[in-house]
Chain A
């Protein structure tokens, strides 16, 4: 690994990754007798102790249902849940916290838009535009919607580097396009889409735009007002928060015109057998007891994440990504998949010597956790004529040592299979 050039001296000193790593208990364990090297944060990020404590504290102290009882525990739980909503609002810079709907995650947020907004407003002949690099959760909900409404799913192709170009986007955008649903950042390739520009184009045609922000929130600036997106979906668990919690941002005027997604408790103002009057925004879209501890855990994750200088975090991750990109180039027979300029945090690759699944098992035996498979993006695999890739992905806690461990483990693959 000595051939690889070191990180430039300009690396931010303010960002102390070794100290930060102390905050993540899962990092400090051995797997198969080797120290864990976690390179699967695109699947889910590890959780800092502050998040774990916040979730435990809800159950240990403020364990009550929200928006219901007059007792103190319920008041505390309600207050913390609503504080979490405000935290999310500020994090993505939404104008109003009525525009933040808690969901189980990105997938549920997208399905909510498809089934509520989509079924109300799409007709036969309308078009839903997605890109070729989408995760299945930003494809399948729209396919279901198209089957239900007679609308057509249209796909913007990507380049062989994994980019979505303005020209290709414009070619597929028509006056029939009612909705554009696209990733902010690709999970399989790390591509950052030029979303601001594409949103403007879509709006010029009168289409609304949903961004799948699952991979973006921990790696890119998200300002929903600056982007002017109509919907933004993301998950807490890729932002160092708990699983089972996420949020949908939607412009208030759109939410107002949308029917409920699920019926149940908390989403109503009054119910008789003749008529139900729905609750105000955003509660109309939060039927049933929500993931209270999850929302409060997400709030703690946002606190944790934003306690660091965001530019320093990005500079650190990009330095590790550059180091990794060069290091992987030195591995004989390795082919990177997804080489879009400006990409973030994801290194998908193939090796001549071994299938991704074999790579995954071998590097795991060296303590290195990566993802192998199609990454829920089979059309991306189809584009490259492959069934699967191996994917290493970065979080803020990863270091160049982790990359050295990966490259060392890949040498084991060569030894065994070469």
Chain B
């Protein structure tokens, strides 16, 4: 042996410093911990994705011309950049954690990216069918920065009664007079009557008082509004759940007026 020097010195160091092999469980724990963090960041990414999907699906694309919004402006209103940045951060974190697992380095950057993205999408789809969108719709908003500001901007879209867009909370329902009272986002109290072609999801109408709604119609006078359509504010999250998932919003009640006195 030409260089026994290193061996002897290493053996001496091992003995004098009482070096012992770290236990197997420490390495196993570290590896498991990385996988758990990867899964957690993947789940966070998936919930974000679901949240963004819900926000897009809930967007009132059809009223865009009436609200005088361009497509980009509407997308900006629906998906504030901070949300997209947060989604990107959670995916990037999942990517880095995946690469830091024991054999994560064996995957090319591209493969690892698609594995992580695929995981996030699959977990997102599973979460969707596992009714996690209820959580996403009800709990996540409070945890997401910029949500309040985004909601204010969205409310702004529905503060245009002159253009036929009115949003607010239904404060009362008068079955005899067949009217509802809606408090808009600036505190104005509106009396809303159903128009000739009025339509609204039946399930929403049955529990409408106290609900935040979006009304499409026509301003007929000072704080007077004729509704052609009433939509729940968060369409996807306000559906009562049936045994097989969210109950359908349809059939619409069309041309029959509000279910007042019926």
Q: Tell whether A pairs with B.
A: no
